[in-house]
């Protein structure tokens, strides 16, 4: 379990949403309310688009609530599009290369959830990653492999379709190994211009995911914040857990749904259907372990 948030809108100091929002993402690192795990203290990451080429990423193994640098950066970085993630490790090491967001070129990727039986599936899934991308996988999380599968399946052309193929592949591989409930996820993706988010679970209820309903919703988070009172209809927040408890502010994204947020506050919703990839994992290939 983890928590994440994404902002697309007018330029904001990152701290406005990370630290100053009621029950914001940093507060959720210590006291999350929804889902199985209230503490997300196994590192965090912040990715943003702004000055310089491509997205910047700051990742740390410290709990977000205790990281003095994060507080400072958030107070001095302004961005129109940023993504933050707090991590609760389930099995893999607490290290920077396991912290989200993951990055490839202009792309950022975050995930709340897990691949069931990842230890068993890891080799099959790594094999399905484009060999040209293989060496780019630097950590040991399921998420980083999922991201590289999605890149393999055309994330840059159609992020939702690529994630549908990725989930299809994972479910297929899991089925082959007799693993139930393969995918549990909310995913977030960005290329610096748009945001995509997916809520999906192979079985049962998926990780929660919410979008800010409209400008009034976000404004009401901070009645006394002049900056936020200047919000326009172009601004949109996606969060795995609402920042405040105000009823009526947040719009829950349904199960098995993908949303696209574009500049101008446009939010499009569509069903998310995993696509089976019959040949993605060649199970008949001889093991490469030598006979010798």
Distances (CA, A) of 10 to 123, 230, 235: 42, 10, 6
Structure tokens at 3: 């928590």
Our finding on whether 76 is near a copy of itself (CB under 8 A) is yes
In the complex, the smallest distance separating the C-beta of residue 8 from a copy of itself, rounded to whole angstroms, is 18
- Closest separation between CB of residue 188 and a copy of itself, Å? 19
Q: Is 61 in the site for a copy of itself (CB under 8 A)?
A: yes
**Which of residues 22, 94, 158, 203 is near a copy of itself by CB under 8 A?**
94
203 forms part of the interface with a copy of itself (CB under 8 A): no
Q: Which of residues 16-45 bind a copy of itself (CB under 8 A)?
A: 30-31, 38-39, 41-42
Nearest distance from C-beta of residue 62 to a copy of itself, angstroms: 7
Considering beta carbons, is residue 101 or 188 the nearer one to a copy of itself? 101
Tell me how far, at minimum, the Cβ of 95 lies from a copy of itself, in Å. Answer: 4
Task: Write out the two tokens for 136.
Answer: 């780019």
Q: Please, what is the minimum distance in Å from the beta carbon of residue 250 to a copy of itself?
A: 25
Please check whether residue 259 is in contact with residue 243, taking contact to mean a CB–CB distance below 8 angstroms. no
CA distance 68 to 49: 22
DSSP-assigned letters across all residues of 111-169: EEEEETTHHHHHHHHHHHS-HHHHTT--S--HHHHHHHHHHHTTTTT-HHHHHHHHHHH
* Beta-bridge partner residues of 111: 187
Region binding a copy of itself by CB under 8 A among candidate stretches 48-56, 183-191, 197-205, 210-218: 48-56
Q: Do residues 259 and 211 touch, judged by C-beta distance below 8 A?
A: yes
Looking at residues 141 to 170 of the shown chain, list those that interact with a copy of itself (rule: CB under 8 A).
Answer: 152-153, 165, 169
Helix (H) or strand (E) holding 19: none
Q: How far is the CB of 213 from a copy of itself (least distance, A)?
A: 29
Q: Does 202 bind a copy of itself (CB under 8 A)?
A: no
101 cis-preceded (ω within 30 degrees of 0): yes
Per CB under 8 A, the segment of 187-195, 209-217, 234-242, 273-281 that binds a copy of itself is: 273-281
Report the Cα 284 to chain-centroid distance in Å. Answer: 33
Determine the Cα–Cα distance for residues 232 and 80; give it in Å rounded to an integer. Answer: 13
First CA to last CA distance, the chain = 43
Contact between 181 and a copy of itself per CB under 8 A: no
When asked if residue 90 is in the footprint of a copy of itself (CB under 8 A), the reply is no
Q: Choose the binding region for a copy of itself from 91-99, 181-189, 233-241, 254-262 (rule: CB under 8 A).
A: 91-99
């Amino acid at each position: 379990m983890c928590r994440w948030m994404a902002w697309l809108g007018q330029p904001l100091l990152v701290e406005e949403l990370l630290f100053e929002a009621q029950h914001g993402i940093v507060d959720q690192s210590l006291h999350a309310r929804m889902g199985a795990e209230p503490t997300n203290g196994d590192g965090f990451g912040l990715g943003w688009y702004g000055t310089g080429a491509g997205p910047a990423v700051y990742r740390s193994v410290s709990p977000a609530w205790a990281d003095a640098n994060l507080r400072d950066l958030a107070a001095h970085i302004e961005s129109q599009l940023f993504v933050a993630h707090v991590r609760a490790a389930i099995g893999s090491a607490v290290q920077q290369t396991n912290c989200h967001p993951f990055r490839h070129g202009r792309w950022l990727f975050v995930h709340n959830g897990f691949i069931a039986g990842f230890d068993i599936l890891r080799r099959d899934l790594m094999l399905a990653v484009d060999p040209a991308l293989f060496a780019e996988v630097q950590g040991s999380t399921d998420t980083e492999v999922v991201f590289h599968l999605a890149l393999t399946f055309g994330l840059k052309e159609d992020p939702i379709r690529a994630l549908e193929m990725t989930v299809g592949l994972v479910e297929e591989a899991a089925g082959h190994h007799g693993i139930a409930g393969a995918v549990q996820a909310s995913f977030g993706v960005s290329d610096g211009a748009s945001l995509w988010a997916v809520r999906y679970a192979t079985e049962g209820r998926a990780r929660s995911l919410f979008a800010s309903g409209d400008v009034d919703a976000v404004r009401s988070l901070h009645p006394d914040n002049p900056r936020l009172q200047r919000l326009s209809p172009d601004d949109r927040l996606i969060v795995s857990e609402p920042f405040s408890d105000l009823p009526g502010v947040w719009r829950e994204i349904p199960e098995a749904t993908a949303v696209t947020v574009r500049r101008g506050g446009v939010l499009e919703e569509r069903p998310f259907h995993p696509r089976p990839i019959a040949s993605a994992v060649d199970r008949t290939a001889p093991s490469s372990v030598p006979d010798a």
